[in-house]
Structure 1
Amino acid sequence: MRQTTVFFVLLAAVLQSALAGAGAIAAPAAAAAAESVPNPTNAQVYFIWPQDGTVINGGKFWLRMGLRNMGVAPKGTDIPNTGHHHVLIDTELPSMTEPIPNDRNHLHFGAGETEARIELPPGTHTLQLLVGDMNHVPHKPPVVSKKITVTVR
């Protein structure tokens, strides 16, 4: 079912791009970049795995992310009620009015991934999910998970 949803989101993005190129849809890029994209008020982002308190042996693991009441779409996709995942590692929430940073503490999944193999060094780490719009800016209101703690041995 997840593959079907991703297929239709991508198909919609291709169709929208084709229509925009034909002049059927006009939206200035500067205006889109300056505003946060609204989202459904009941949208939720969450960790499928790991869960709060999980102990991970070896440091490498599959991170699985969920999103409810919104669609997942690659960066640059201008479709209402969609966005893509960002994982915040050992950091606080960034600005809610600027693009989410892209560094070792802010992992971007701009291709629309809902799972990824990541590696953390030994120790205790916090993880939090934040959904970004087509320009990596958090939605308004932000779609953010609760912060979880994992231990790597």
Structure 2
Amino acid sequence: MRKLTFVVALLATVPFTAFAGETASAPGTVQYFVNLQDGDTVQSPVKVVFGLSGMGIAPAGVDVENTGHHHLLIDRAALGEGEDGAEEFDMNMPADDNLMHFGKGQTETTLDLAPGTHTLQLVMGDKDHIPHNAPVFSEVITITVE
């Protein structure tokens, strides 16, 4: 039984370790939304301010220890929870309406969101848009746009 518990616990960590990049994150790093909370009701356009504690911000392509840049997932599966799992770790995918890259080091944006319920999650990427090892990401929050 102990072996089975160990194997299950080990497999539970596979998505985050298997698809994380080689760039180490600083221990204790926290990524979060500064001005939004889960369950908020807002008006469009929605200002979104990104928070980060424990690491710094550097533009994509810049290789500085303990830095990265933000990516914003909008209305898509949480990091590692997509149909393929792996696809959710490839932040180097083309930007679109559901994956925004902030490779210039931006720390906020304004979104034109349709009325309704939307999910948001922040994910840190290294110089190559790849999540750090261990990945740094915010909780998924749900907001309602009136």
TM-score normalised by L of structure 2: 0.76
Contact kept in structure 1, 2:29 and 2:136, CA below 8 Å: yes
Report the 3-state secondary structure (helix = DSSP H, G, I; strand = E; otherwise coil) of the residue aligned with 1:39.
coil
Contact kept in structure 1, 2:74 and 2:119, CA below 8 Å: yes
* Distance in structure 2 (CA, Å) of the matches to 1:98 and 1:129: 14
Shift in Å, 1:62: 1.2
Contact kept in structure 1, 2:71 and 2:91, CA below 8 Å: no
| Percent of matched pairs sharing the same residue | 44
Report the CA distance shift for 1:99/1:115 in structure 2 as closer, same or farther (over 3 A).
closer
* Distance in structure 2 (CA, Å) of the matches to 1:74 and 1:127: 21
Bigger relative contact order (CA 8 A; separation at least 6)? 2
* Distance in structure 2 (CA, Å) of the matches to 1:143 and 1:82: 11
1:74-102 deviation line (CA, Å, top 9, x unaligned):
11110010000011111112536534422
Counterpart for residue 115 of structure 1? 108
For the pair 1:47 / 2:33, whether they are aligned, the reply is yes
Letter in 2 for 1:85: H
Q: Which runs of 5+ in 1 are unaligned?
A: 1-34
Contact kept in structure 2, 1:100 and 1:138, CA below 8 Å: no
**Two-structure CA RMSD over aligned residues (Å):** 1.7
Q: Which runs of 5+ in 2 are unaligned?
A: 1-20, 81-85
Report the CA distance shift for 1:116/1:97 in structure 2 as closer, same or farther (over 3 A).
closer
Counterpart for residue 62 of structure 2? 77
Counterpart for residue 148 of structure 1? 141
TM-score normalised by L of structure 1: 0.72
